[in-house]
Amino acid sequence: MALELDPSEANRVGIQAVVDRALGWERRSGATFEEDKTVIIHFTRHPERTDESPYTIKGQALIPKKSGEILGLMMDSELRYEEHIKEAATRGLRAAMCLRRLKMLTPRMARQLFVATVAPTMDYPSNERKARGIPKKLIRWIDAFCSNRTTTITVNDYTSGLRELPQDGFPQRSPLSPILLLFFNAALVQSRIDSNGGSIAFVDNYSAWVTGPTAEENRDGIQAIVDCALAWERRSGATFKCDKTTIVHFTRVIDRTSRIPFTIKEDAIKPKRKAKILGVIMDAKLRFKKHMAGAATRGLSAAMCLRRLKLLFLQTARQLLAATVAPAMAQKMGARAITGAFRTVSTAVAEAEASIQRVCERHAQAGMRSYINIQTLLKTHPLASLNVSTSRKYMSPLRKLTLAHEGSNIERIETIQAYAVPLWHNHVSTVCEADREAAIAAAENVSDIAIATSASGRRGLVGMGGTVAHRSFGQTDTVVASYSVTLGSRDDQNPYTAELEAIAMALRCMPDGLQRRELTVLSSSQWSLKAIARPRQQSGQITIRQIYKHIERLGKGNNRVEMVWVPSQDDCLTMSCEAKRQAQKATRAECTPRSLPYQACSMRTRLVAAQLHQQRRLPDRVGGYSKRIDRALPGKHTQALYDRLKRREADVLSQFRTGMARINGYLSKIGAA
């Protein structure tokens, strides 16, 4: 920016000399002056002294403007900055809420990236699908699934008629579509990734890159990628959209870049300065400041929307914060939106008053959760079998997680597979009545073999118990067997996994010679019954797989297994009461587990969250007034204080507790109160 005090010809020559000197430094240093960010202003409070004749910079005419930014301060042509005052809060918050930056390895080579969007179709030769190992029968099923497609449009209460789609393809939101895309893009994507280049794809986005010392040497490699992609397009019937095709030259040395366009389908595609790769906007220097600014803006918008909801109870506002504001990292604005505290209140005090997690606590919990999830993978999984590099020059996120949680004592963590049972497997029939009386009636109508299970967790132990009885109409129950087992400590197991283990043990003890019997499991844990009815990637999957294994074994003898939920505090069912006594018997002080069980993934995650919660404390020299008011800060009691209050009531309480109030000593001293 150039400063001009008098629009005389002498000053005009001086401004042009400043521009020429800057352009000369640009050629020597390799930097780049962007024309769209160059501003010339005449600073004067006399309109007759202004001059709007343009200046010539790089062959372009630049007209003097009426305002511009000088050392971070937005000034107008009259040397006033009212415009800056209005926008200072917003711009400052956007910068402050970019809380974390990933360290990127500075590239020693210039890199060229080709990004394209593919519109898939099913006009793909059958011989190529056969080459991928897909059976002929499955190919016919896929063709029938993706051909002759129809669609309808629904607007409010109106639904249009069925219309045929002109082109075959993958149905959107179908569970089969992501799997088919893996085979569909395989011929294009499967290439070796090394120091010279590689390629990746996600759904319909295809990205490929080559490396070299300069952009000119990379040009042949990029053109080869384009030709290969167009040849695959002709073979497969897919369509590359030129308007969504991006070419970027990644380098931090300006002399290695190039602006020469590429020709794709007779369209000239110029290299751009940024591209979106796997959802992250990267610039030509492999930085993502624009992406961070966009994320901060979304977080600020969510926090401001939450702040406008005046009549919400604080408990509801805290739930909205966790769902919308916390993922966007707008921490202090979110805390102020809940309690209504002043902006001068420190972030640590605002977080303690709002009873929300700190940023470092949330990051530590997310990192530990990721580390535990990696440990639950099968040993044959590529991520689990990956050797973590010991290099400390550039540590990957996986290496940092390993170093941070090496002594976490999760050697016995459970293994969670991709699925508990095959998708075509019949699921267990469960009866969970919403009405208490209906649930009791369903449990009392059980006949033949009844199995009542229960779990207990107390004194730091988790135990299970159960009873097996034979039922006949008009006769008393005949108890066949009872069992009581201590599973392990509360750090490894919980009542949910104990309930699953109690059901698995009862089915495991059923003899193979059982024929044509009705087996009904009575359980008071809806969580466990729903997990058995809809098995997925979840904690306790090992036990759920055993339950289905024994149900399949009993099914060979034409036996039928059903599960019924009973209320936990029902004294009418003698079997349930006896099962509860057996479970409590297994958690006595003198009980010890026979063998060490597996560590439940959900329990270890909750244990880490509880440990992080216990470490909460206000930093030294922060919140002295709040510490004098409430020595137990931060704690759970603040949540109980605010939960029943509405926003305006919480505003008053937070002002008293933080010492930042509308009526205070400062206003009294100046006579304004």
Per-residue model confidence as pLDDT tens digits over 75-106:
666 666 555 555 544 444 443 343 333 333 33
Q: Are 460 and 490 in contact (CB under 8 A)?
A: yes
Q: Which amino acid is at 1?
A: M
Give me the pLDDT at residue 333, please.
65
Q: Are 73 and 60 in contact (CB under 8 A)?
A: no
What is the torsional sign of CA 227, 228, 230, 231?
Answer: positive
Q: Which amino acid is at 238?
A: A
Q: How far apart are CA 395 and CA 417, in angstroms?
A: 29
The burial class, CB within 10 Å (0-12 / 13-18 / 19+), for 490 is: middle
Give me the pLDDT at residue 159, please.
84
Structure tokens at 192: 């070796």
Q: Are 353 and 657 in contact (CB under 8 A)?
A: yes
Structure tokens at 189: 């994507």
The secondary structure of residue 321, as a DSSP letter, is I
Q: How far apart are CA 651 and CA 645, in angstroms?
A: 9
Give me the pLDDT at residue 123, please.
47
Give me the pLDDT at residue 548, please.
92
Domain boundaries, the chain: 2-80, 110-287, 429-600
Which of 419, 325, 410 shows the shortest CA–CA distance to 369?
410
Q: How far apart are CA 490 and CA 603, in angstroms?
A: 8
Which of 285, 112, 262, 118 shows the shortest CA–CA distance to 201?
118
Question: Strand, coil or helix: what is 43?
Answer: coil
Which of 250, 218, 225 shows the shortest CA–CA distance to 240?
225
Residues 201-230 as b/e (b if ≥16 CB within 10 A, e otherwise) read beebbbbbbbbbebbeebbebbeebbeebe
pLDDT exceeding 90 applies to what percent of the chain?
2
**Cβ–Cβ contacts within 10 Å for residue 476, how many?**
9
Give me the pLDDT at residue 663, please.
63
Residues making up the chain, counted from first to last = 673
Give me the pLDDT at residue 547, please.
92
> From 3.60.15.10, 2.60.40.10, 3.30.420.10, 1.10.357.10, which CATH number describes the 429-600 domain?
3.30.420.10
Q: Which residues of the chain carry a pLDDT beneath 50?
A: 1-7, 88-111, 122-125, 673
Q: How far apart are CA 219 and CA 210, in angstroms?
A: 9
Per-residue model confidence as pLDDT tens digits over 15-65:
777 778 878 777 776 667 766 677 777 777 666 667 777 777 777 777 777
